[in-house]
Chains A and B, each alone.
Chain A
Amino acid sequence: NAGVTQTPKFRVLKTGQSMTLLCAQDMNHEYMYWYRQDPGMGLRLIHYSVGEGTTAKGEVPDGYNVSRLKKQNFLLGLESAAPSQTSVYFCASSYSILTGGSEQYFGPGTRLTVT
């Protein structure tokens, strides 16, 4: 049982390049989330999904897109990276309100640097 995994762990991009961060969970959770963590800012929600095929915007969605084609995977895309997107990205998952449980399980993070 791996929990929540994130790929890659580190990445350096040049401004304007694109990339996709992959999140996978093996706990059969309905909900999945993408956060970014910046110094002094805590964790801010980028996008989230309440089920396969559904996505919604969080607090800071601009410049990012997401897809949830399979229940266990949640992809975060940067179409044209900017230095302001330099951050540590965390994926999380949780059960839905209908099945009980509310805490989120986090992945180990992806450290992204945009030069």
Chain B
Amino acid sequence: GIQVEQSPPDLILQEGANSTLRCNFSDSVNNLQWFHQNPWGQLINLFYIPSGTKQNGRLSATTVATERYSLLYISSSQTTDSGVYFCAVERPYAGGTSYGKLTFGQGTILTVHP
């Protein structure tokens, strides 16, 4: 199956710093999402970005599908940005084995200190 690797595994920042999280994937995808998992376990949608660039406030994301990677940028980080960030991908239709199946990376644990 498709492999998803996220880096770095851990990131510690001071409030106000900027950061870049990376997601590499091993095959073509028709769906790529970035999530933030809150302390209660819920996965919060950040971006749906199978290709291109999007921005939402202090967060932005870029996916270069031809080179099989995506980047999540967090600017002017705040303590509330702390948590685990996941990248998840879905392969194009492959005889039914892709339906509803997101493959997740192992996540990046972000800690922002005041």
Co-assembled chains A and B? no
Binding site for A on B (CB under 8 A): none
Binding site for B on A (CB under 8 A): none
